[in-house]
């Protein structure tokens, strides 16, 4: 009688490389694209009566796709280092919530004190937003960029479910198989429901159909960064990510997403890049989470308030960009690094768990 070979679980000792600095650089590129894009025509969606933005940069949305791939990569590192499902939750909570709450407070204050022509909120909306689960409760986001946090949260819940069921252990072959299955499922759903509305749109959202191959590709690239083995499913996921973007949006967007996946693969393959490992782009990557949470509502309202003094053109936007970067730098130093670190240490000491023989 043949015995089933036990699954090969990942050993945390095999995944102890130092910080992947170029990954922070990619975050820097992503956040720059998002901010530049939003300070363009999206500003007039908040303030339609104001002078038209001096430019339009729709490709800035690609920064979000890059963030999703990076999340897929980083989530496995977080899960491996955490060793247990409980530690995984503590790590994600302490990383996300303190900075989010500060940004939420700032955006709520600005929207209630100054207002935006096309984006009104209530105190009730803000209270529900504290949970970061407002999208699941059908409550408007205080800041429209929070939609990506809900998408990330779904991915985290998916990973948490796996960790709970598997007692904190990670099976490489299972994760790769799931990544392929999930991406193909997303491909099928995106082809069934093209540019959906209503219930079909909710189905696309529920299964993260459009973005599944991005998260999956990030996970696959995590393994590739260690074993350096090119597999057939890597270009498959790149193709699906690009095709989903094409079928849900347009051909230009689809080609652009494919280019972003190539860039991500190239950086992971070479693992170092002077352009990304240090300097301004790397710095922007370090503060990217705080910058992402604060640039939209704060940026739009600052542009609006400064227009009578600086005009509606480039000077205004450059000044506001500098203010957002300074504010994000402050939050990174005192909230992301200091407060989040203390919260994590406290929760680990109070509720954390160490897996035996990890």
- Measured between alpha carbons, how far is 193 from 204 in angstroms, rounded to an integer? 8
Structure tokens at 35: 């901010």
Provide the number of structural domains found in the chain: 1
Over the chain (358 residues), what is each successive 10-residue block's mean pLDDT?
A: 54 63 90 95 92 90 94 88 83 92 96 90 94 90 94 92 85 92 95 85 89 96 88 95 93 95 93 84 94 96 96 94 97 93 88 54
Residue 152: CB partners within 8 Å, gap ≥ 6?
A: 68, 71
Q: Which residues pair with 171 in a beta bridge?
A: 9
State residue 13's pLDDT score: 58
At residue 136's C-alpha, the angle toward residues 133 and 137, to 5°, is: 90
- Measured between alpha carbons, how far is 358 from 354 in angstroms, rounded to an integer? 8
- Measured between alpha carbons, how far is 88 from 208 in angstroms, rounded to an integer? 21
Domain presence at residue 9: no
Domain presence at residue 217: yes
- Measured between alpha carbons, how far is 186 from 180 in angstroms, rounded to an integer? 10
Domain presence at residue 171: yes
Domain presence at residue 106: yes
Judged on CB neighbours under 10 Å (0-12, 13-18, 19+), 138 is exposed
Domain presence at residue 3: no
- Measured between alpha carbons, how far is 184 from 60 in angstroms, rounded to an integer? 26
Domain presence at residue 10: no
State residue 7's pLDDT score: 57
Provide long-range contacts, Cβ within 8 A and 24+ apart, for 336-344: 336/98, 336/99, 336/289, 336/290, 339/98, 340/94, 340/95, 340/98, 340/99, 341/94, 343/93, 343/94, 343/98, 344/90, 344/91, 344/94, 344/95
Q: Which residues form the domain of 49?
A: 15-316+324-350
Q: Please check whether residue 260 is in contact with residue 110, taking contact to mean a CB–CB distance below 8 angstroms.
A: no
Domain presence at residue 295: yes
Provide long-range contacts, Cβ within 8 A and 24+ apart, for 56-61: 57/33, 59/33, 59/256, 60/33, 60/34, 60/35, 60/36, 61/33, 61/34, 61/37, 61/253
Give Cα separations from 221 to 1, 226, 229, 262, 293 (angstroms): 38, 9, 10, 11, 26
In this structure, what DSSP letter does residue 231 have? Answer: -
Q: Helices 21-38 and 251-270, interaxial angle, to 10°?
A: 160
């Amino acid at each position: 009688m043949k015995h089933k070979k036990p699954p090969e679980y990942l050993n945390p000792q095999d995944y102890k490389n130092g910080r992947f600095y170029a990954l922070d650089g990619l975050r820097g590129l992503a956040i720059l694209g998002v901010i530049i894009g939003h300070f363009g025509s999206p500003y007039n969606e908040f303030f339609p009566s104001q002078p038209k933005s001096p430019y339009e940069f729709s490709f800035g949305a690609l920064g979000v796709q890059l963030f999703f791939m990076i999340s897929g990569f980083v989530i496995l590192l977080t899960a491996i280092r955490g060793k247990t499902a409980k530690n995984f939750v503590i790590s994600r909570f302490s990383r996300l919530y303190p900075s989010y709450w500060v940004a939420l407070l700032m955006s709520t204050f600005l929207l209630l004190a100054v207002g935006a022509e096309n984006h009104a909120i209530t105190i009730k909306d803000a209270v529900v937003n504290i949970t970061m689960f407002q999208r699941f409760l059908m409550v408007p986001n205080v800041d429209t960029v929070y939609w990506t946090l809900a998408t990330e949260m779904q991915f985290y819940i998916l990973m948490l479910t796996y960790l709970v069921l598997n007692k904190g252990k990670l099976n490489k072959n299972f994760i790769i198989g799931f990544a392929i299955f999930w991406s193909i499922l997303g491909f099928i759903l995106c082809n069934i429901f093209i540019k959906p509305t209503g219930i079909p749109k909710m189905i696309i959202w529920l299964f993260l159909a459009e973005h599944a191959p991005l998260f999956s590709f990030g996970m696959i690239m995590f393994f590739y960064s260690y074993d350096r083995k090119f597999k057939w499913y890597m270009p498959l996921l790149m193709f699906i990510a690009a095709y989903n973007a094409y079928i849900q949006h347009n051909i230009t967007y689809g080609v652009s997403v494919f280019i972003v996946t190539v860039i991500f693969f190239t950086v992971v393959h070479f693992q170092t890049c002077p352009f990304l490992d240090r300097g301004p782009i790397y710095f922007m990557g370090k503060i990217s989470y705080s910058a992402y949470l604060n640039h939209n509502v704060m940026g739009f309202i600052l542009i609006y308030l400064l227009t009578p003094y600086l005009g509606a053109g480039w000077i205004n936007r450059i000044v506001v960009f500098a203010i957002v970067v300074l504010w994000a730098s402050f939050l990174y130093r005192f909230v992301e690094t200091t407060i989040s670190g203390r919260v994590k240490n406290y929760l680990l000491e109070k509720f954390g768990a160490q897996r035996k023989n990890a």
